[in-house]
Structure 1
Amino acid sequence: MTVITVNTPKGRVSQEQRRRLAETPTDAALVPEVGQFAPAARVGFQVHFVERESGMMAIGGRLLADVSPGFDAVVIDVVVMDGDWRQQVRAEVIERLLAAMAEACGLPEPAPAWWVNFRVIDEGS
């Protein structure tokens, strides 16, 4: 099982964008993990969306509620089961996740404050 959690400020991602992001991050992680596009493997992936009030997120020691709207904080947490997650595979997944997020948000590239946290757990955790 792979769980991808997209954390954003409240209202940052629309319902239509979430529909797109329900699929694209799954494929971003699925292809490197499985080694090919395999739609049947999607059942082993979950995407969760968490929205936080701007007073509950900070960049550079300042709450988003107190800084200009130009700050775009997005954190994507990826939790995967133990497997072949070499650094090269992790890097590919991270690049693909950021590109999928940018595409869904209509941006030419990911914003500088976006972050991907990648964690591998074994089946006993």
Structure 2
Amino acid sequence: MPELRYQLTFEGTVAPEDEMGERMTISSVAAIPAALNPVLAQNGHSAYLNAVVETDEYGGFTETGEISFGAGTIRYVTRGEGFIEDTDEDDIQQGCVIRRVEGGSGIFENATGYIVSTFTVSTNAIIRDSQSAVIFTM
């Protein structure tokens, strides 16, 4: 079972799907550096993340999403709940979430593993998501 690792920073936007901001979508992109595992960069130089986030009243959230690489797409869900909280900067919040890989397409068809995400979100809905992943493919 090959083991793939990556560390990437995704940047994009967060958009509410409802008036209360309890359901949001995330769309972001990360440049794939030349030194990253060439399997992940097949047929492309960027990775794309699209997700749906559902928040609770206590600052917690769950997330489902996909990350598309040139070699395939990873499907994931949160393991437990992520959280988001205020920072000392008035216009920035920070958070953390663990994502459990639940397969995908291409080389990720039966993949398993985890992606740890630490991120910031600004008041103008810009997200910066630093990810570290260990993924096993079949």
- Structure 1 length-normalised TM: 0.30
- Structure 2 length-normalised TM: 0.28
Whichever structure has more helix as a proportion of its residues is 1
**Greater relative contact order (CA < 8 Å, ≥ 6 in sequence):** 1
